[in-house]
């Protein structure tokens, strides 16, 4: 679990949080997948991110797409966009 400062916005802290989650997933995958039950945990880290609308920005969505992480982040009410 990572804790971020209250003075930092969600769209700037998600990279650190997602990176930490990836490292922990890789660690767990090494242990679980080494047992004789086959590959259960994706050793490449998170494949999907679910977050609240505070994490939504065009830059975040582009970043997630570039690294192949599927996103489920609702878009906040900003009115009509062009």
Q: What is the pLDDT of residues 30-58, one digit of tens each?
A: 777 666 655 666 667 788 888 888 888 88
Q: Is residue 24 part of a domain?
A: yes
Q: Is residue 81 part of a domain?
A: no
Q: Is residue 1 part of a domain?
A: no
Between the CA of residue 42 and those of 18, 26, 33, what are the distances in Å?
Answer: 15, 8, 9
Q: Is residue 78 part of a domain?
A: no
Q: Is residue 77 part of a domain?
A: no
Which alpha helices (DSSP H) does the chain contain, by range?
A: 10-34, 58-66
Q: Is residue 38 part of a domain?
A: yes
List the single range of 5-9, 16-20, 63-67 with lowest mean pLDDT. 5-9
Q: Is residue 54 part of a domain?
A: yes
Q: Which domain holds residue 64?
A: 11-72
pTM of the model: 0.64
Please tell me the total count of domains within the chain.
Answer: 1
């Amino acid at each position: 679990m990572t804790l971020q400062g209250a003075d930092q916005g969600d769209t700037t802290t998600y990279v650190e949080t997602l990176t930490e989650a990836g490292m922990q997933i890789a660690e767990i995958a090494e242990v679980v997948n080494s047992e004789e039950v086959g590959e259960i945990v994706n050793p490449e880290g998170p494949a999907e991110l679910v977050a609240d609308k505070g994490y939504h920005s065009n830059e975040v969505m582009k970043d997630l797409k570039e690294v192949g992480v599927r996103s489920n982040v609702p878009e906040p009410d900003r009115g009509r966009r062009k």
